[in-house]
Amino acid sequence: MHLAELLFVSSLSVATFALDNGVMRVPPMGWLAWERYRCDIDCDHDPKNCISENLFMEMADRLSEDGWRELGYVYVNIDDCWSSMKRDDNGRLQADPKRFPGGIHKLARYMHDRGLKLGIYGDMGTHTCGGYPGTTLDKIELDAQTFADWEVDMFKFDGCYSNATEQEQGYPLMSKALNATGRPIGYSCSWPAYQGGLPPKVNYTQLGEICNLWRNYGDIQDSWDSVLNIINWFFENQDVLVSAAGPGKWNDPDMLIAGNFGLSMEQSRSQMAIWAIMAAPLFMSNDLCTINSGARSILQNKIAIGINQDPMGIQGRRILKEKSGIDVYWRPLSKNASALVFFSRRNDMPYRYQTSLSKLNYTTGSYQIYDAFTEKTMTLKDSTSFVVSVNPTGVVMWYVSAPAKRNIRQFYRGGRLQGSLFDDDENAISPVFL
């Protein structure tokens, strides 16, 4: 084969590997209206008028002024109930003029002016889940072009009011149509959630080729029961899900709900830590104007975010589910580092869990540990037995450095070889965390 042919063929095979729009090489982060606001978008903030665009602009102001944007929270995503009940005379979707008097394009500009991005919602089917106009097969190209014209950066394609056959055509077609607009638009597919989330009905290889992220399972609600139910499903099915994820293609266990009404601080930390292990998209759904400082510091935790955003993009696993009610989760990270989460399902009292790194499959060596929530560091040898105290429904989360290497710079004193030192550079905590 000639070199040119070879290059062409190999570029084809790369193109079929992952959605080739260049976006979301690490899990996307931002804010999404649905869990907290549903269709009541902006009655909290503006009870008389309920003008939704104000809510999105206020959240954008908070993201850009309260330190969120710098940490990676850049998407501001509209969910259902944004559109008018009727398409316009050209068959295009249009925003409800009362809720979005400025229109979607202007809102996108508002985001872009602040270094943020705008996401929007649609539905593969006759109607959205909330009963607004859906995108049937014949409307896919038109709607993709409309979103691109509005300079939208992300699109969530829900799946109410369509059957499996229509979805099988519609989701890949929308991927093509979005690509064809020439605008990089992150593509979130709800398809697997409508097909039970598991093979053989769900083809994760194909999803990775056409979507940047996908909802696998049911909707999150503002309760610990709901979070726990999601955690259980994702880790019971981890053998299927872990291999589906990677740069540009992510499993989506749904929004972060810290800052609302249903989770304690411990539970908020647990959600944040486990979402980081899962390489999950981090979309908060809360009120950033009134969020308390505890929830804010959990959602802004640099270690948890750093672990979530690791460039290797390998989704972590549950490695132990102990009878005591302690689960241990592990995620490999770049630079030969890793993350560990100890999670308690108990409801009684802090549990003292005893183990060692070698019991958790770590190889011989000395490791630096950085505790994400207490911000304490320590050095641990693989063989050293240690105890972590895990609060009920809470977590302990560790960033674990690469094992220290024996330093080859052996030194002589008095003419005799004195042995070797540990090379501290090798297993230092990555400076991005400190």
Q: List residues near ligand GLA by CB under 6 A.
A: 34, 79-80, 128-130, 158, 190, 219
- Output the six-digit token pair for 320: 């132990």
Residue whose CB is less far from ligand GLA, 79 or 310: 79
Nearest to 129 by CA among 80, 180, 75: 80
CA distance 110 to 33: 17
CA distance 362 to 51: 54
- Output the six-digit token pair for 61: 């102001």
Instruction: Report in angstroms how near the CB of residue 181 gets to ligand GLA at its nearest.
Output: 22
Residue whose CB is less far from ligand GLA, 162 or 190: 190
219 is catalytic: yes
Angle between helices 140-149 and 164-180 (to 10 degrees): 40
Catalytic residue among 158, 252, 310, 327: 158
- Output the six-digit token pair for 178: 């979005």
Instruction: Report in angstroms how near the CB of residue 292 gets to ligand GLA at its nearest.
Output: 25
158 is catalytic: yes
Instruction: Report in angstroms how near the CB of residue 74 gets to ligand GLA at its nearest.
Output: 20
Work out whether the CA dihedral 295, 296, 302, 305 comes out positive or negative: positive
> Which ranges in 16-159 belong to alpha helices (H)?
34-37, 52-65, 68-71, 104-113, 140-149
Instruction: Report in angstroms how near the CB of residue 79 gets to ligand GLA at its nearest.
Output: 5
Catalytic residue among 61, 96, 219, 382: 219
Instruction: Report in angstroms how near the CB of residue 145 gets to ligand GLA at its nearest.
Output: 22
Place of tokens 């993009």: 313
CA distance 89 to 69: 38
Residue whose CB is less far from ligand GLA, 158 or 310: 158
Residue whose CB is less far from ligand GLA, 53 or 158: 158
Residue whose CB is less far from ligand GLA, 67 or 218: 218
Catalytic positions: 158, 219
